[in-house]
Amino acid sequence: MLQYPEIDPVALALGPFKIHWYGLMYVIGFAAAWGLARARRARVGLSQDAVGDLIFFGALGVVLGGRLGYALFYGFDKLLADPVWIFKVWDGGMSFHGGLLGVLIAMLMFARRHQLTFFQLTDFIAPMVPIGLGAGRLGNFINQELPGRITDVSWGMVYPLYGPEPRHPSQLYQFALEGVALFAILWFVSREPRQKGLISGLFLLCYGCFRFITEFFRQPDSQLGFIAFDWLTMGQLLSLPMVLFGLLLMAWSRGQEVAQPPVPRAS
């Protein structure tokens, strides 16, 4: 078995001011998305200033949607008992599925503002999202959050916060699949112009499948446990619609024309 490396969750401390690795992971994700969006902006005719607006809209969607999604999906009882709890971001966390819904709403608003179709924009941003997802999972690992289930595999890891039993390093599984693998798939497929909706559908399908698989190794949320059948988790339940919509969207995209890059707008 492996021993958890005990990384200090505080990356930098200047007196009372502390910068946590988890917060830095959000910065890395948004910075990477900004850089990749600038490199590919001609595909949707965005100016450099518009790329900055895009990342701002996306960040709002992630933060607001992620927190609201966590409250609704994982802490609804707490929310009912104390509505102010939703603002206590140190108690509980963020939900990817809530963040996804928040980003989709933000992208709908951004697309209307910049005269883009919804799927034109989501196809554009989909390959950029996995970097942030992967960085977030590394943040979970550093914080010893979302630990894996107890295991006897040789690479099982002992987390100091969760007792002497070795556990699956499920955060690293998710980093490898939701981050590295998903980015490689989407970036490779999106190298050439594709039918409208294909990349968005592929993102939903792959993430849904990867998340469903890794949930078998991740400890269920203590406040929820298993949702059904003594094995189905909330993460898996929320991922099933992603798989379904991803398949439907990819099938729909087959009847669409291949997207052609517009004339770039002035910076």
CB burial string 233-247: b at 16+ within 10 A, e below: bbbbbbbeebbeebe
Residue 27, H or E segment? helix 21-40
Residues belonging to the binding site are: 137
Closest CA to 150 of 166, 132, 173, 127: 166
Count of Cβ atoms closer than 10 Å to residue 5 Cβ: 8
Half-sphere exposure of 193 (CA within 13 A, CB side): 11
What residue has token string 């988890």? 22
Alpha-carbon gap, residue 36 to 127, rounded angstroms: 9
Q: Please give the C-alpha separations between residue 230 and each of 41, 75, 171, 238, in angstroms, as whole numbers.
A: 46, 20, 22, 16
